[in-house]
Structure 1
């Protein structure tokens, strides 16, 4: 059956199909598939908090195939049906479903995510379970057409995927050939964000082989002046049975994205002496104004190749192996800093940067799982290895930093921005700065044992050997040697207990650990960040509960946690020119989520999270050179971490052919600096939606995001805040025949 989605968008602000912050986290939606009969095409809101939902697989949170209720951790899975039903346009919009998560995609760190009090440098953002160790940059939002589901694990999880993941793990799973049957589907979208996409899956006769192709192209102007984005993704996969129980899948994926004249932020209003403190203030007339050069760009090309082998050796024994290669080329050509001068009559521009990243990753991961009995007790095991080689070379050319000069003054409201190569001293001569060669090998094991009386014990252990060589391609110095080498051998793990109070109610407790660099990320860190330092040590204690109620029509989850990360790299309080690995950061929090279908026509949901994040030991350097001084930030809150994130949603089947929805999201006050002297107040976003089945084959959808046109800061900075999108309206027609 062939599916055509025709979308017309009328909006000023965020991209069309903006995903609301609450709905997907709280609602499971049974979306119509390409094979569904016409009379079933309108999505039906199902009970995502039901017993069936809690019994579905918890995904990458374990290699033992545990369900959500069997897992002693807070795990959120946003599946394909939920993603499509709410029209999420990219992977970051999908993250609105994860309680407590806040995010933004500024071009310099498009994977900017904060989870349980920790930022993207201490989070693992995986792609099909693979980290390229450059997540804050490489984990850019990807159009959701090719996404099968997104999984989130709260808290330390290095025992699963290696270094990083103190605050949590986010894993994007893309679509590949499977056994779901033939698929024929296409989408055409019109408006400021145009899209053309297709999905095709076919079985090859009675051979058991399956071919699948996903194609997607999107482009259009975004809400800021002069900012255009074009992107495409193409995937092809071939699933073939090699023998009884042995299946191989070959998957190839290509991604391209280009943003012309990227928006880097809006200058804040400052006091007469040039300082800024208190709540962030802006000149409303500068909203949407872009001060970047007219030919500024961000461009990325990515290739993934994966070979997936699955062997069901026996009913209780399975072997899986993934061989993969990742290649990326990222280019930046931008003027990135803007500051008000002479009151608010002029804007000074500085920090021109030409940057290129060439990165390749090769890897092999194998795991053997076996279900057995030990001393009469059910006991499931998983063992495996994880090997990777990561190489990245950077080609930076930076001119006119914020403290070394500017490129003149422009009108704040109608800037003449010029061209990138007009910057004195700028050229497109790519000269390598440094190459990081990162080699890692790990052995891991997991186990789940049921001692009886409703108890289960879940454990995991991972031992890594990490070798990093940093080759400096420029003039060597004491602080930047020609070759810097370091080695790490972290051991991380998890120990959890789950108790069934009844078949619908579980409580759990767990302790888990993680390790990550003391500053920076391993794919770019060098001598100044690592020296002879070891990796930081992160550990978490978590208590929680998972409950189905009202005969399966509702569910509720609770997680209470404490995380501590030690050995951060900080400035020596006695010498501002030195770094020492003695810093400490902590986070305590509570996460609640509930879903309920009180009547056939209603679906309700809500979530609320509280995070108290702080630096226990942290020293910051103010000034430079002989005038540099150190200041303790102990007791302060890390930037961009809100105390409260909350949301509510409601869907009403007003008529057999009409469904109405509303959702609300609250993000609490966040600080812009480690001194906590500059902040953005809490903001709230309201979304409205309607779905009308015109005929059994034709469905119309409408969506309004940020109904109140709230002005808010998506990513805080003490120098250049990055604003969120204003109101947006989208409409769509889906036709299936």
Structure 2
């Protein structure tokens, strides 16, 4: 790829592109909070909205010297995002999939799994690849994403970026009652309700209360044989305004999902290096006939806001998270050498019991530093995360079946599989973090944003099974990473700027500390990451269009690799890197035509990496990490046929990805087409229709060495929403 040798000069030229759109620089805006009271069109990048994920200072997207993407509620409703992962398709360069064993899989900027932090209302549960599985989108207001290292904001585990799903919250001075009904392919049904209502008002005296309730229930058959899913989600919030300076928000959420006979993937034909499937097995499900995935999640958040003075604000968030996840599946399927039969193996009975409690105190202050306007944020975050896992795993082949005609067993008829849960390990992760952030206006056009965070992370693991030298009864480890960010921004005009940023990250050595074993962490410290990014955010064509541009280089060090001299021993000396360019734009071609497009190019590779292959150390230096596409692009076009009727078309391109570190197995690039129609019958009633994968493309949503997790075939959905 031609951009793989990006040089500092090239980055500087890229960052300066907005100069072409500005004939003459103008004075900068006054520093301060940006409040947006009106809704921007769903096609607009809306650079002046605030994004809490990228900074604790309440900065707008435009004023934050980093890549920040915000996918708001209007966009979700217009383009038919039914789940949290559907939301992420609107983030330039991001791909996501939900294979049951890693249903929170997200890939961005050359990294994936535990190298990206996924948060819920700013809180990480430290088990993202599992806990961040898709949730129905109705209860969420928006998703915010920051590209690159963000450990300095949210703690260990964010070298590739951070994703923050934000729930709907009470709206002051607004009453609404909403109902939404939808029906789609595979007998998918969804009913959703939303309520926002003031219980008491300030003029009535005493404490003013506003309540928000959002709930939905969804069920469907799934697009593979025997699979069906049902889910229920409820989010409730009570905003209590004691006076003009003091308020409290109590938020409770309940999520329950059951997937019967989950689909784990489709086996590859031999030789697997061709990355091909037998199309007759596209919708086949090789799981046990009573296989199951089930999850129950409970959230509680208590947020106290106090405007101490006009310049100083305090916020305290006390939170609790509880999750129970159950698996009962046969997960692996492989063709025999003649591709005439499929062997089924890897029977797993598993339970995860996770409990997280924490408190975060934040203080923000607007003042001066050496006579310059300066905005500060500081605070601490303390949490205790406890998880116990109960696995019963059997590796032998369960059965060998005809690929097209077969019947699978009941799960507990698998030889050696018995009901009941026996604990394996209990992991306790205690985190205490101190953080500090500052933005200082250095002059009329220059501003400097800095951030620093210091964590003390203590891991304690108790073994509930047989004690050995490699698996002691109890062990502990303490990590003390310090991470930060420094970014300089220059305003070319009130609507255009350029910036350069340097940030660092720290990741757990085993990927996820809440599941780490003694062998994974005993000789390892946290891995480290750093990023250099230059970019720009600007409006053009007299404000009809807006765009963001960024070029970055990320390096992650101290990966565990096989010792070249002793392949059975691991060494913390590996390195992985990525560099790329991201461009996003939204343009109003005319009062009736809108275009929104983005493209992301990434060159990701292992710089130093040795893999243990059957006892032999094999170098994978120069190879691309699995599931990382080199190119991702999106195009969305919408047209207002009348004031009430709008139609849209969209296209999404993802280049091929490798399934293994040797880069011998890959899928093919694919393009998905979609269409939408939105019609407002009157002020209260709106209708929508959505077609996905118009060409019925067969494609892999996620790739692994023996089987591909295929994406959904052509599907349709119609919905009616009523605002009472």
Regarding TM over 0.5, the answer is yes
Aligned match for 1:287, one of 261, 282, 286: 282
Q: CA deviation at 1:199?
A: 1.0
Aligned match for 1:607, one of 598, 612, 626: 598
CA distance in 2, matches of 1:93, 1:46: 15
Report if the CA contact (8 A) 1:543-1:559 is conserved: yes
Kindly tell me: are residues 411 and 646 of structure 1, through their superposed partners in 2, closer, same or farther at Cα, counting changes over 3 Å?
same
Q: CA deviation at 1:696?
A: 5.0
Q: Residues 417-436 of structure 1 correspond to what in structure 2 (within 5 A)?
A: 417-436=408-427
Q: CA deviation at 1:552?
A: 1.4
Q: CA deviation at 1:202?
A: 1.3
Report if the CA contact (8 A) 1:47-1:554 is conserved: no
Kindly tell me: are residues 406 and 71 of structure 1, through their superposed partners in 2, closer, same or farther at Cα, counting changes over 3 Å?
same
Q: Residues 70-89 of structure 1 correspond to what in structure 2 (within 5 A)?
A: 70-89=63-82
Tell me, yes or no, if structure 1 residue 685 matches structure 2 residue 685: no
Report if the CA contact (8 A) 2:549-2:581 is conserved: yes
Q: CA deviation at 1:700?
A: 2.9
Tell me, yes or no, if structure 1 residue 534 matches structure 2 residue 521: no
Aligned match for 2:165, one of 162, 172, 194: 172
Q: CA deviation at 1:180?
A: 5.1
CA distance in 1, matches of 2:562, 2:287: 33
Give 2:8's aligned residue: none
Give 1:489's aligned residue: 480
Give 2:358's aligned residue: 363
Per-residue CA deviation, residues 546-597 of structure 1 (Å, 9 max, x unaligned), is 1101221111110000000000111111112211110100000000011100
Give 1:48's aligned residue: 44
Q: Residues 307-706 of structure 1 correspond to what in structure 2 (within 5 A)?
A: 307-341=302-336, 343-399=338-394, 401=395, 405-623=396-614, 628-695=615-682, 697-706=684-693
Per-residue CA deviation, residues 57-95 of structure 1 (Å, 9 max, x unaligned), is 122110011111111100001111221222211000000
Kindly tell me: are residues 584 and 468 of structure 1, through their superposed partners in 2, closer, same or farther at Cα, counting changes over 3 Å?
same
SS in 1 for 2:397: coil
Per-residue CA deviation, residues 436-468 of structure 1 (Å, 9 max, x unaligned), is 010010100000001103000000000000100
CA distance in 1, matches of 2:694, 2:424: 46
CA distance in 1, matches of 2:248, 2:109: 38
Report if the CA contact (8 A) 1:234-1:253 is conserved: yes
Report if the CA contact (8 A) 2:446-2:491 is conserved: yes
Per-residue CA deviation, residues 578-617 of structure 1 (Å, 9 max, x unaligned), is 1111010000000001110021010011111100000011
Per-residue CA deviation, residues 112-135 of structure 1 (Å, 9 max, x unaligned), is 000100011100000111111100
Aligned match for 1:105, one of 98, 105, 117: 98
Q: CA deviation at 1:190?
A: 3.4
Tell me, yes or no, if structure 1 residue 250 matches structure 2 residue 247: no
SS in 2 for 1:421: helix
CA distance in 1, matches of 2:457, 2:62: 34
CA distance in 2, matches of 1:45, 1:395: 48
SS in 2 for 1:61: coil
Q: CA deviation at 1:732?
A: 2.3
Report if the CA contact (8 A) 2:177-2:723 is conserved: no
SS in 1 for 2:223: coil
Report if the CA contact (8 A) 2:178-2:721 is conserved: no
CA distance in 2, matches of 1:381, 1:695: 47
Of structures 1 and 2, the one with the larger relative CO (CA 8 A, separation 6+) is 1
Give 2:711's aligned residue: 724
Q: CA deviation at 1:176?
A: 2.5
CA distance in 1, matches of 2:643, 2:170: 34
Q: CA deviation at 1:98?
A: 0.5
SS in 1 for 2:314: strand
Give 2:114's aligned residue: 121
Deviates more, 1:714-723 or 1:239-248: 239-248
CA distance in 2, matches of 1:736, 1:527: 55
Tell me, yes or no, if structure 1 residue 296 matches structure 2 residue 296: no
Q: CA deviation at 1:46?
A: 5.8
SS in 2 for 1:338: strand
Structural RMSD (CA): 1.4
Give 2:26's aligned residue: none
CA distance in 2, matches of 1:61, 1:238: 26
Per-residue CA deviation, residues 598-655 of structure 1 (Å, 9 max, x unaligned), is 21010011111100000011111112xxxx1110101100000000001111111122
Per-residue CA deviation, residues 270-297 of structure 1 (Å, 9 max, x unaligned), is 03xxxx21x3111110001000001000
CA distance in 2, matches of 1:554, 1:353: 52
Q: CA deviation at 1:342?
A: 5.3
TM norm structure 1: 0.91
Report if the CA contact (8 A) 1:45-1:603 is conserved: no
Per-residue CA deviation, residues 178-205 of structure 1 (Å, 9 max, x unaligned), is 3151121112233511112211121113
CA distance in 2, matches of 1:568, 1:180: 52
Report if the CA contact (8 A) 1:307-1:324 is conserved: yes
CA distance in 1, matches of 2:573, 2:458: 22
Gaps of 5+ in 2: 1-37, 202-206
CA distance in 2, matches of 1:676, 1:539: 25
Kindly tell me: are residues 111 and 579 of structure 1, through their superposed partners in 2, closer, same or farther at Cα, counting changes over 3 Å?
same
Give 1:262's aligned residue: 262
Q: Residues 209-248 of structure 1 correspond to what in structure 2 (within 5 A)?
A: 209-248=209-248
Gaps of 5+ in 1: 1-39
Q: CA deviation at 1:414?
A: 2.1
Q: CA deviation at 1:658?
A: 2.3
Report if the CA contact (8 A) 2:173-2:198 is conserved: no
Q: CA deviation at 1:44?
A: 8.8
Report if the CA contact (8 A) 2:578-2:604 is conserved: yes
Tell me, yes or no, if structure 1 residue 150 matches structure 2 residue 146: no
Report if the CA contact (8 A) 1:134-1:523 is conserved: yes
Report if the CA contact (8 A) 1:47-1:553 is conserved: no
Report if the CA contact (8 A) 2:179-2:721 is conserved: no
Report if the CA contact (8 A) 2:43-2:75 is conserved: no
CA distance in 2, matches of 1:317, 1:397: 53
Q: CA deviation at 1:691?
A: 2.1
CA distance in 2, matches of 1:309, 1:219: 36
Give 1:163's aligned residue: 156
Give 2:180's aligned residue: 187
CA distance in 2, matches of 1:269, 1:81: 43
Kindly tell me: are residues 44 and 318 of structure 1, through their superposed partners in 2, closer, same or farther at Cα, counting changes over 3 Å?
closer
Report if the CA contact (8 A) 2:179-2:723 is conserved: no
Report if the CA contact (8 A) 2:499-2:534 is conserved: yes
CA distance in 2, matches of 1:95, 1:470: 34
CA distance in 2, matches of 1:680, 1:321: 47
Kindly tell me: are residues 565 and 184 of structure 1, through their superposed partners in 2, closer, same or farther at Cα, counting changes over 3 Å?
same
SS in 2 for 1:662: strand
SS in 2 for 1:121: helix
SS in 2 for 1:709: coil
Report if the CA contact (8 A) 1:355-1:397 is conserved: yes
